[in-house]
Amino acid sequence: MNGRRSWWPLLVAVAVVAALAVAVSMVGHVLDPDDPVNRADLGSLVLAALAFATPVVLWARRRATPAPPAGEEIVATAKTTLTGLVAEQWRTEATIRSLGDPEPIPISWHLTDDPGLMDHPRLIGHQPLTFTGTSDRMLRLVESFRALHRRRLVITGGPGSGKTTLAVQLLLHLADDHRPEEPVPVLFTIAGWDTSVHPRLHDWLATRLAQDYPALTAYGPDAARTLVDRGHVLPILDGLDELPGDARAAAIAALNASLADRDQFILTSRTGELAAALDQAGDVLTAAAVIAPRPLTPQAAAGYVRTCLPPRPRHDWTPVIEALENADRPGLAEVPSTALGLWLIRTVYITPTTDPAPLTGPLADEPGRLRAHLLDHLIPAAIHARPPTRDPAEHFRPRHAWDPDQARHYLAYLARQLTAHDTRDLAWWHLANLTSTPAQQRRTARVFGLVFGLVFGLVFGLVVGLGSGLTGGLMFGLTGGLVVGLVVGHVTQQ
C-alpha cells in the first residue's frame, strides 16, 4: 500500500533458481546423453525444476513489486476494522481483569508536581493547564486528553499504582467512542522496541501492528504501514521502565525524533525510571502532559472493598473495613493505598470468599509482611477464580486444572530467565530464546540440516544412484546445518 520496494524476495528467487540450475547440471553431468532413457529423465528433471521455479519467481515478483497507494476508501475500511479488533480484544481483557466489576478502583489523577518531567505548559494545552479525574469516572479524563494540543500523555506512578489499567481504560473509551477523524488507539509493549533496529518509531509500530493484527492484510500487504504512516494509529506505549536503563534514554530520544506535529501517543512509566531517562536523554517528551496518581484515601479503599462485597457476605468484614477507614494499622493503611494492594485484597480474599480474619491479625501491623502474604496466596486464588472449561467459546479460560505449586515453579523459572535476560517482556514467541542456550539452538539447527540433507540425498539418489545421493545430501545437509546454526547463534546473541 505504501509503494516501497523490497529486494529480498528477488534474492531468494535467484538463490532458488541457482540451486535448481546446479542440481540439473550435476544430474546432467552423470547421465549418459546418448541413452534415450537418461535423456528422458533429464528432460523430466528440467521440466520439474521449471515447474518449481516458476511460482517462486512469480511470488518474488509480487513481493518485490511496489503496490499502488491505497485509496481513501480502503484505508477507511481498514481503520474501521482495526478499531473493532482493538475494542473486542481489550473488552475481553477488561473482563478478565474485572476492571468494571463492580466498578474501577477510584484512583485520582493530576498533573505532575515535578516540573522537570514535563514540557512548557503552553505547548501542551490551553492555559491554565489542567488534567484531573478519577479512574472510576473516566469521561473527565478522556475529555482532558482530547483537549491537549497534540494529545500526548505520559502516565507515571510507583509500582502497582494503576498506570497500565488507566491506559487500557483510555483505550477502551477512545475506541468505543471513536470519531472518524481520530486515530485508532492501539496498545504496544514498548519493551519490544529496539531503537538500534528501528530508529524510527513508525517503522516498529508498522511491524508490530502487522504481527498483532494479521487480519489487516485483507486490505493489502502494507495495510498496517499505511495506517501508521498516515497517522491513523494512536500508539499507547506501555512500560518504558521495563526497558534496560540505557535503552530508556534511547527510546526517549528516538520518540522525540520520530514525532511530527500531528503525532499522538500515550506512554506509561514508573516515575523514577522516567526521571532518570529524561535526565540521561537531556530532554523531556515534546508537548506531552505528565500525570501522576494520588494515594488512595482510607475512605476510598474502604468504600471500594464494601462495594466489592455482596450484600450479605459469608464472613464478617466489619473489622477490616473499620481498620481501613481508621488507618490505624500500618499494614492496612499502606498496602491498600495503591491499586495493586487493593486488587490483591480483592483477589485473594473477596473473590474466593475467604475468611478475612488474617488481615486484622499481626499482618496488619507490618506492610511488608502483609504484601508478601497477599502475593504468596495470589497464584492459588487466581487459579481458583478461573476453573478449567471445555467450552470452545471460552477462549480465555484454561483447558485443564493447574496445580498451584507447579504453576509457581514454572512462573519462578520464567521470572529468573527474564531477570537473566534483563527484560520484563514475556511473549510466547520469545520463550525459545529464554529457555534454551545458543548452543542448544545451534544443535537443533544442525539436526534440521542433517535431516534435510538425508531427504535431499534420497531424492537425489533416485536419479544419480543412492550412494552418491546420500553422500551429496549429507554434505549439503551438514554444511547447511552448520551455516544455519551459526546464523541462529549470531541472531540469539544480538
Q: How would you label 236-271 residue by residue, b for 16+ Cβ within 10 Å and e otherwise? A: bbbbbbbbeeebbbbbbbbbbebbeeebbbbbbbbb
- Predicted local confidence at residue 177, as pLDDT: 94
Q: In this predicted model, what pLDDT tens digit does every residue of 272-290 receive, in sequence order?
A: 999 999 999 999 999 999 9
Coil, strand or helix at 294: strand
Residue labelled with grid coordinates 536503563? 245
Q: Mean per-residue pLDDT for 79-105?
A: 91
Q: What pLDDT digit, counting tens, does each position of 212-267 carry?
A: 999 999 999 999 999 999 999 999 999 999 998 889 999 999 999 999 999 999 99
Confidence of residue 4 (pLDDT cuts 50, 70, 90): very low
What is the domain partition of the chain in residue ranges?
7-64, 72-294, 298-385, 386-424, 438-492
pLDDT tens-digit readout, 22-43? 555 555 555 555 555 445 555 5
Q: What is the mean pLDDT of residues 174-178?
A: 95
Q: State the average pLDDT for the chain.
A: 83
Asked if 224 and 209 count as a contact pair (C-beta separation under 8 A), the reply is yes
**Percent with pLDDT over 70 in the chain:** 71
pLDDT tens digits, residue range 361-403?
999 999 999 999 999 999 999 888 888 888 776 666 788 888 9
Q: Is 137 helix (H, G, I), strand (E, B) or coil?
A: strand
pLDDT exceeds 90 at position 440: no
- Would you call 10 exposed, middle or buried from its count of C-beta atoms within 10 A (0-12, 13-18, 19+)? middle
The arithmetic mean of pLDDT across residues 38-60, rounded, is 53
Q: What does the pLDDT read at residue 461?
A: 54
CA 443 – CA 456 distance, rounded (Å):
20
CA distance 163 to 168: 9
Burial of 74 (0-12, 13-18, 19+ CB in 10 A): middle
Q: Is the pLDDT of residue 445 over 80?
A: no
Q: Which of 19-33, 156-170, 401-415 has the lowest mean pLDDT?
A: 19-33
Mean pLDDT to the nearest integer, 165-186: 96
**C-alpha cell read off for 377:** 496466596
Handedness of CA 156, 159, 162, 166 (dihedral sign): positive
Cell representation of residue 75: 484505508
Q: Could you tell me what percent of the chain has a pLDDT over 90?
A: 60
Choice between 422 and 180, residue whose per-residue pLDDT is larger: 180
Phi, psi of 123 (to 5 degrees): -80, -15
The count of other CB atoms within 10 Å of the CB of residue 418 is 16
CA angle 13, 16, 21 (to 5 degrees): 125
Q: Measured between alpha carbons, how far is 76 from 155 in angstroms, rounded to an integer?
A: 30
Across the range 309-329, mean pLDDT stands at 96
Q: Which one-letter amino acid corresponds to residue 163?
A: K
pLDDT on residue 17: 55
Report the distance separating Cα 350 and Cα 306, nearest Å: 10
Q: Can you give 24-84 as a three-state secondary structure string? A: HHHHHHHCCCCCHHHHHHHHHHHHHHHHHHHHHHHHHHHHHCCCCCCCHHHHHHHHHHHHH
Q: What is the pLDDT of residue 468?
A: 53
Range among 33-47, 59-73, 456-470 rated most confident: 59-73
SS3 174: helix
User: Class of 72-294 per CATH?
Assistant: alpha beta
End-to-end CA distance of the chain: 31
Q: What is the pTM of this model?
A: 0.76
pLDDT mean over 155-161: 96
